[in-house]
Structure 1
């Protein structure tokens, strides 16, 4: 404990940690006085002076191109790529038809059987009504 006390007293008496000087206010570099609150500075958004005049005429004159060009890549289809696309489309259609055709046939047969049953029922009702 004595060591800590000794070290503290030594360090406080001889300021080895930092060489601290008071801040000096320079009125030419800032419009804010030393007593200005942080809130006031934030209200002014820390902007010293607005410069509302902005002209780009010189910029455009200096950077104006003499002519403008652009390039566009046009994709050309070769016979090979067209053939591959056609084969893949045909293969896709074949697979989709193989999957959907049995279902469509079943649906059509069920609809036909329902229609035939209704037709028979109507005929039977008409025959009963005539008797």
Structure 2
């Protein structure tokens, strides 16, 4: 914004009004990484990655996994037992 452009704030705007609007006159969202690297010409780039996998997260995931496995196994075993009980018994009696 140049010094000759009109401000979006009125002359009688309070400081609080300007601060409430984060003191921003104009928001320009022209993002170009090519222009950034061309102008700044960094020698190297580094970044930090915040890991969310701390021990509490891993523990909760394992507990959830075990709970799921338990539920699935109990469902499968219950159906297998029902299937076996429905089968007619095959008692073979030998006649002397």
Greater relative CO, 1 or 2 (CA 8 Å, sep 6+): 2
* Same-fold status (TM-score > 0.5): no
State the TM bucket, normalised to the shorter chain: 0.3 to 0.5
TM-score w.r.t. length of structure 2: 0.39
